[in-house]
Amino acid sequence: MKRSREKAATELFAAVYPRLAGWCRRLVDDETAHEIASEAFTRLWARWTAVAEPRGFLYVTAANLVRDHWRKQERERGAVRRVTAEAAVRPQTEQADPSVRLLVQSLPERLRVPILLHYYADMPIREVSLLTGRKEGTIMSDLHTARELLRAHLRRSLDHTL
């Protein structure tokens, strides 16, 4: 019985694998296509006695694996985009004018915390409000006051350099 099972699996592999891998190759790169086709056969083998239609099982499994691969790629691309965007923004902000960072650090805590959370951590005002335990109107007022202080300090420092 085991011998006939192995023979049937070998025959199915020889008959279906090239076409399945080729189908996968149209959807993903060559190496990934072979990995997906092989994984589909591995999963079929684990359920060999319970699967009524092996070819259908293989293609459905391969399609699911391709979809999972695409999702993983999209998550990775999103992570790379976020990291790249953060790297592009942060160094320019800090390197372009370190005095702005020093000015923000010199603000009183009640003004500094909302500035850091809203502008540097990119949090919406509602979230800053929840984190600090202050009303949204107060946060908006503090952000306005802090911006005005920073603007005045920067004007004075620019006037001194001219």
Residue among 62, 48, 51, 67 at smallest CA distance from 17 = 62
Q: Return the amino acid letter for 82.
A: R
One digit per residue, the tens of pLDDT, for the chain of length 162 reads 677 888 988 999 999 999 999 999 999 999 999 999 999 999 999 998 899 999 999 999 999 999 999 988 888 887 777 777 766 665 444 444 557 777 888 888 889 888 888 887 788 899 889 888 899 999 999 999 999 988 888 887 777 665
pTM above 0.75, yes or no: no
Taking only the tens place, the pLDDT of each residue in 50-62 is 999 999 999 999 9
Residue among 62, 57, 67, 81 at smallest CA distance from 24 = 62
